[in-house]
Amino acid sequence: MDGVTVTRLAELVAGGGVAVLSGAGLSTESGIPDYRGPTGRARRAEPMTYQRFTGSAQARQRYWARSHVGWRQIGQARPNAGHRAVAELERRGLLAGIVTQNVDGLHQAAGARRVIELHGGLDRVVCLSCRERTPRAELERRLRAANPGWEAAGARINPDGDAVLTDAQVAGFQVVDCAACGGMLKPDVVFFGENVPRPRVDECFALVAGASLLLVLGSSLTVRSGLRFVTKAASLGIPIAIVNQGETGGDADASLTLDAPLGPTLTELTARLPVPAQ
C-alpha cells in the first residue's frame, strides 16, 4: 500500500462533503465476484437482459433457478472492512452520501444510512403487473415450497447473484408468480437493457454536484452507468479520488488514484483521520 497516497487521500476526505461512488470491487472481499476486476477477468459473464427475461418463460425459469441457488451466497454475505470503513466515514460526518452500483445491500448492513442504490437491490422482488414489492426472503420461501427436493450446486456465482447451472439442473424448476395478482416477478434490480429510473439518476447527479470530493471505490468505470458521475464531477471542477484494483475509465479525470485492495486501504484511511469529539 502506498502510504504517501493514503495520506493525501486522508487530507482530501478530512474536509468532508464527500460523495462516494462504489462498485463491485468493494464487495469482492465479502465473497461476491466482480465483472472486470481481479476476480472477473478469468470469467465470461453473461448477465440476463430485461428483454430476454420478460420475453421468454424459459429464460425466467433459468434465471430464477440460478438466482435461487446464488442467493444462498449473496444473502449470507457480510460487510467487509471496506464497507465498515465507509460506514465509519459517514458516522464521523464526512460523507454527503453514497451512490452504489452494487445490489448486495452490504453498505446498509455495515451501518451506512445515506445510500442510493443506483441499480436496485437483490433483497427485494417487484411484480411487473401490480408493482408490489415484497422481500426476497418471502420469494425464497415460496420457491422452496414449489420445488421440494430440488437441489443444484452451482460451480460459481456471478456478480449479479446467480449460479452457473447446466440445462439438466434447470429442467423442472418451477417459477412462482406474484401472490397478489399472478403477474411476473422480477428482482428489484436494473437489468442490462433496462433504464435506471430518471428520478434516481437525478438524485445521484445532485449528490455529486453538491459534493466537495467524489471518492470512487472499487469501480472500473468502464460503462456509462458509473462513469457519467465522474464526468459530471470533472465538468464542475470537483476533485476526484479513485481507489480500485486496476486501471479505470476515470483515471484521466482523477486528482488521485490508488491501485490497492479496498478493505486494508479504507481501514488505513479511517485510521489516519481524526476521530470527532463525542
Calpha distance 70→91 (Å, rounded): 32
The one-letter amino acid at 146: A
At 57, the amino acid letter reads A
Measure the CA–CA gap between 120 and 206, rounded to whole angstroms: 18
Element (H, E) at 214: strand 213-217
Catalytic residue from among 68, 83, 107, 119: 119
Length of the chain: 278
Q: Could you give phi then psi for residue 95, rounded to 5 degrees?
A: -105, 140
Helix runs in the chain, H state only: 3-13, 50-55, 57-76, 81-91, 106-109, 136-146, 167-170, 198-209, 224-235, 262-271
Cβ atoms of residues 278 and 41 within 8 Å: no
Rounded-to-integer distance, Cα 198 and Cα 226, Å = 14
Grid cell listed for 254: 482523477
- CA quadruple 214, 219, 221, 226: dihedral positive or negative? negative
Picking from 267, 218, 221, the residue whose alpha carbon sits closest to that of residue 243 is: 218
To the query of whether residue 68 is one of the catalytic residues in this protein, the response is: no
Q: Are 180 and 131 in contact (CB under 8 A)?
A: no
Q: What amino acid positions are annotated as catalytic residues?
A: 119
